[in-house]
Amino acid sequence: MPSYDPEQLVFEQEVVSSITPVLGIEDRPKTFLETLFYAWQVTLVDFTPFIWAGMFVTLAGLPQSVLPVMISTCFLAMGVATLIQTTVGNRLPIVQGPSASVLSAMGPVTAMYGFPAMWGAVFVGGILEVLLGMSRLLGRIRKFIPPVVTGSVVATIGFVAARISLTWIFGSGRQMHLALALAAFLVALFLKFRCRGIMSRGFILVSTLLVGVGAASLLGEYDWARVAEAPWFAMPKLFPFRGLDGTDTAVAFVIAAVIGGLTGYIGSIFESLGDYAATCAVSGESYRVKHINRGIAAEGAGCIASGFLGALPVTSYTQNIGIIAATGIASRFVTQVAAVMFLLYGLSPKLAVMLASIPRAAIGGVFAISASLIMFSGIDVITSEKRNLKNNLVAGTALGMAIMLPFYASTAGAKWAATLTPFWRMYVNNNVFIAVTVGVFMNLLVNHFLASGEDDGPGM
């Protein structure tokens, strides 16, 4: 067996992206004020604890009084987990935060077995993730994920980001929110292409503040009363939900709950492998074995920390990839400062509510730009591979299944999806998980098992 080389490339050939970062991973902005500017920009888009925590409380059938505390704990977990990932993990500019994959599994677990059993599942899943990363096993599967597979995953991540932005834009159905989204989109484009320097690189933050705070306040769409009511400081504590079920038990280990929770972790791991590849692609970094192994181990450590804080388990965030693609700011230091800001949001509910009061539609209008750039970055990676019928089939099948299967499962096939076990229900609704598994399967099938050794030509 060949010796382990953490610097070994995941792909045999270097993948070239059309995106050139302004600041590389180890670069820092010229001034700390500029760093704060870019970091704040990161926190504006990576701001979904309000969404995922609310969804979890609904899935778990918990009282709404739990929600404010869980939002704060999720921000604390984001800060801690992001610092772990960017400092001792794979050291990429990756934001860690609550995952839809994991919460979709943990919600039913909590509803059926209670909070203590959920935390038991969180700890077991986190420990197994750490051990999986330390085992270096994931790094050995790199031959099964060539650029044509990874490019399909990155393009799918771009599609997911676009879906998030459109949900934010059209979610309320109000014409005023559509107008705010369009205004934010146009202002962002103007700043990006007609301005220079920090205004161009910080177009996401500036356009969000101008439209999402300024214009929204004038139109009565920004809830300043909610901001005024929020406290300035809230002291965190370990296991904040102890006693919610009437007992003093903080953690319980129930086999069925652990198995149910692990289904979410599996989806999260595959999603993270795609996010690492996408982050490298937009950051000008070569995707190496160490990014996989150290990244998953650090992610597991972040999940363990989340359990102690009473937060949802964390995974890598797609939104930050879009920010890097759009702004060119790939600095790890900026992401670390953003992590400190997340900690402050967790300690100060007033700061968190100030940003949460920005209409999602305004942020969605800006984020649509980032989503399109992620998609094209994935296409870049796909086309860096040799064009032939087999590779076209791998990419086309992976993209088609990843985009259309969740759509079918949530529309015409909703009744069918409801009959599936929790794992398969999670699978058919997870675009990135589908892209990874279908891409790997198709690559093994047509490029290995059915390989004839002959050139298939450029495809159809």
Specify the pLDDT at position 412. Answer: 87
H-state helical runs in 2-146: 32-45, 49-60, 67-87, 100-113, 115-135
Specify the pLDDT at position 221. Answer: 82
Spatial neighbors of 217 by CB under 8 A, at least 6 apart, are 224
Specify the pLDDT at position 19. Answer: 66
CA distances to 78, 82, 151, 164 from 305, in Å: 10, 11, 32, 27
Specify the pLDDT at position 10. Answer: 67
Residue 101 and residue 433 in contact, taking contact as beta carbons nearer than 8 Å: yes
Specify the pLDDT at position 77. Answer: 93
Rounded CA-CA distance 391/395 in Å is 6
Rounded CA-CA distance 380/124 in Å is 38
Residue 328 and residue 140 in contact, taking contact as beta carbons nearer than 8 Å: no
Spatial neighbors of 420 by CB under 8 A, at least 6 apart, are 428
DSSP states along 281-304 = HHHT---BHHHHHHHHHHHHHHHH
Rounded CA-CA distance 274/281 in Å is 11
pLDDT digits (tens, 9 = 90+) for 204-238: 778 888 888 888 888 888 888 878 887 888 788 88
Enter the tokens of residue 206.
Answer: 């500036």
Specify the pLDDT at position 58. Answer: 64
Enter the tokens of residue 99.
Answer: 């995952």
Specify the pLDDT at position 334. Answer: 94
Specify the pLDDT at position 232. Answer: 87
- Count of Cβ atoms closer than 10 Å to residue 41 Cβ: 25
pLDDT digits (tens, 9 = 90+) for 95-147: 998 876 677 677 777 777 778 888 898 999 999 999 998 988 877 776 677 77
Q: Which residues of the chain have pLDDT under 70?
A: 1-4, 9-19, 45-51, 54-55, 58-61, 64-65, 100-101, 104, 142-143, 201-202, 243-247, 426, 452-460
Enter the tokens of residue 159.
Answer: 């599609």
